[in-house]
A and B are shown apart, each in its own frame.
Chain A
Amino acid sequence: MSIDWNAFTPWTALAGGVLVGSAASLLVLLNGRIAGISGVLGGLLTPVAGDIAWRVAFILGLLVAPLGVALFSAMPRAQIDAGQGALIAAGFLVGIGARYGSGCPSGHGVCGLSRLSPRSLVATAAFMGAGFVTVFVLRHLLGI
């Protein structure tokens, strides 16, 4: 293993992480909700009366975040390199997997680990492990 010192950005990563943690804290203390994006979004597919507006508002906040950044500075790189077929396959697997696994990096990785939940630790280890293996197979075995 060799660290890519040119790509590694520890300070902005920590600062961004502090914002992510603050957002999750805000939602749990004020609204009593878990800021797990797949859960918030998935709940809109089987809408329950009185449980819709906060979900829509949260998703809207995520969607306008780039505009918020653009007000103060140039938007950093956020470009998707994957092809159409790869995006469809990846999106489908992420969607169904997050719902069966009851969470994604925000729900399990941030909120779950902050609650010291063993269940979220197992889920985080599983999706990270699968991510490591997938990138290894795609980049180093298949050379894609």
Chain B
Amino acid sequence: MAVFTSFLAGLVLGLGLIVSGMADPAKVLGFLDLAGAWDPSLAFVMAGAIAVAVVPFAVARRRTVPLLGGQMRLIEARHIDRRLIGGSLVFGIGWGIAGLCPGTSLVILGTGSAAAAVFVLAMLAGMAIFELLERRRRRTLLAC
């Protein structure tokens, strides 16, 4: 059951990205281009999503067990550090180059796009390098 609801969440999220127009990188870049002809649509996507999700997230925070059982895995990290800001800045540069984020690249990959496959492979490589560097960092921390 949990696997099915997870599939459903991915599907609905993907449909949302397509309906919203965000599966078109040109539209994302239109939002990021403040100095050109600006397309504010992306802000409306976020506003719509947050308006719907704010109450469910407040409910989820008060629960210790999800409706399907298991464990609530909410992110409890609160610190704002160099990693968070540096990582997000690097992400933003990549986002601004192609107009693609992890979600939209996977949705476009689902249309059979070879360009999306190139982006997703490079993205996985970036994620893999993060895991390797993290493993080395943890080992160094343990050795100290």
Contact = CB atoms under 8 A, between A and B. Distances in A.
Interface of A: 1-4, 7-10, 12-35, 37-38, 41-42, 45-46, 53-55, 57-69, 75-82, 84, 86-106, 108-119, 122-124, 126-136, 138-140
30 contacts: A4-B37, A13-B48, A14-B47, A16-B16, A20-B16, A23-B11, A25-B52, A45-B128, A60-B7, A64-B11, A64-B110, A78-B113, A81-B26, A88-B119, A90-B97, A90-B98, A91-B119, A92-B123, A93-B126, A95-B125, A106-B101, A114-B49, A119-B77, A128-B32, A128-B92, A130-B91, A132-B96, A135-B96, A136-B33, A138-B96
Contact of B113 (A22, A80, A88): A80
Contacts of A9: 21, 41
Contacts of A64: 11, 14, 110
Given A17-B44, A105-B103, A136-B33, A96 B90 contact: yes
Given A4-B37, A79-B26, A111-B53, 19 more contacts: A3-B39, A13-B48, A15-B48, A17-B48, A24-B9, A26-B8, A31-B9, A33-B66, A65-B10, A79-B24, A81-B25, A90-B119, A91-B94, A98-B102, A102-B77, A112-B75, A118-B80, A130-B92, A130-B95
Nearest to A18: B48
Contacts of B18: 16, 65-66, 69, 75-76, 78
- Main DSSP-derived SS at the A contact region: helix
Contacts of A33: 6, 66, 73
B21 A76 contact: yes
B74 to A, nearest CB: 7
A16 B120 CA distance: 23
Contacts of B41: 7-10, 12-13
Contacts of A131: 32, 92-93, 95-96
A32 B105 contact: no
A66 to B, nearest CB: 4
